[in-house]
Amino acid sequence: MNRLNETHDPQLKSWLASANVPACDFPIQNLPLAVFKRQKSAEDFRGGVAIGDQILDLRAAAAAGVFTGEAAAAVQAGAQDKLNALMAMGHAAWSAMRMALSRALREGASAQAALQACLVPQAEAQYDVPARIGDYTDFFTSIYHATNTGKQFRPDNPLLPNYKWVPIGYHGRASSIGVSGQQFRRPVGQTLPPGTTAPTLTACKRLDLELELGIFVGTGNELGEAVDITQAEEHVFGICLLNDWSARDIQGWEYQPLGPFLAKNFATTISPWIVTMEALAPYRVPFSRPADDPQPLPYLDSAANRQDGALDIQLQVGIQTPAMRAAGLQDASICRTSYRHAYWTVAQMLTHHTVTGCNLQPGDLFGSGTLSGPTLDQAGALIELTTGGKNPLTLSNGEQRTWLEDGDTVILRGWCEKAGAARIGFGECAGTVLPARSI
């Protein structure tokens, strides 16, 4: 699946100059997809492809008649108000469209004149959630996050015995998933304050972020039919950034015995751009387990998954406080890590999700779970970075944070880079905390 081809050539240049700028998130080797319209316009949302600082409007490109065959059908599907129809078409169609787009956007392409008229500046765009998300499942794939948080709740037994055997997840709330720029009210819920014996209804006092990736399902499977791990990635359309905001005080009171509920149903923010699995091919790395750990059961194991089932996606979290914003300061970085540290791969998540016969559908979304690395500066949540609020973080402007405060904006960023390959990025995933409603 998704081996290298001519679209990955690091020497490729686009006729659009902004796509050739070093460290650009969206060079011609990337070509991620989103749903957009011009800001403050009455236009319909439609699919678009990022190239440099522009968006190739797929509806306009389809009308331009530049593409033919399977690629043309895929572009037409991508021109709709959501990407579900394109997601349902499958890997062959996605790959055909990527190849056609790459060739049409390269230096010297005969399609330049026709497609230049189809560009919209990203600075003028308003984005929407890129798919109709029927179901959302959040996994728990970082053993470092699981261990760090487990130590706070179960010092003598931080990692539960099933963790190394099964990709753990829970079914989340699809209706509160919003696109980057999402603003949400601080959640209100039932908590049990320390030293008390009865809960109270109050605004969350321990609001946290979670650095995750979102995995969009492409083609689905029939009810009752499991997806073999050797076929799992054929069902994956692509990956975005995801912030699974978490109310830790609500979570601590409610999560036994059934797990997360109100602590995570009030907001989840995703980046607008979905980077396809094919675009990520150069950044695959081997998947392995420590020799002393249980190895995956046969249904979660394959030679291909061991060889290159992991992805080296670099990830970073920044916080911009109201004081920073007022002073014109950028966000302060609080952690950096890589998806390569995850204990379970994309293929394993999808395979395990369907082993019971669960039917996935185009546009379904998985969260990877908080992606923490092996050292504390690579932790993807404040509950780890501050040891449960005991050790405040000092930000670059001197402010401190144990938990998120009203007005704070959290910005996730992701990118891939290595020698011999073009750097590609995911853009940004930003969300802002508003004050709680009156109780």
Which residues participate in catalysis according to the annotation? Answer: 145
Two structure tokens written together for 135: 């179901």
d(CA 65, CA 79): 13
Q: Could you identify the residue written with the tokens 């919209």? A: 120
User: 203: closest CA among 216, 191, 188?
Assistant: 188
DSSP secondary-structure letter at 124? G
User: 420: closest CA among 279, 276, 278, 282?
Assistant: 282
Identify the bridge partners of residue 213 per DSSP, sorted by sequence position: 241
d(CA 250, CA 266): 12
d(CA 10, CA 283): 13
Asked, as a colleague might, if the bond just before 257 is cis with ω within 30 of 0, I would say yes
> DSSP letters of 138-185?
EE---HHHHHHHHHHH-TT--S-TTTTTS--EEE--STTEEETTEEEE
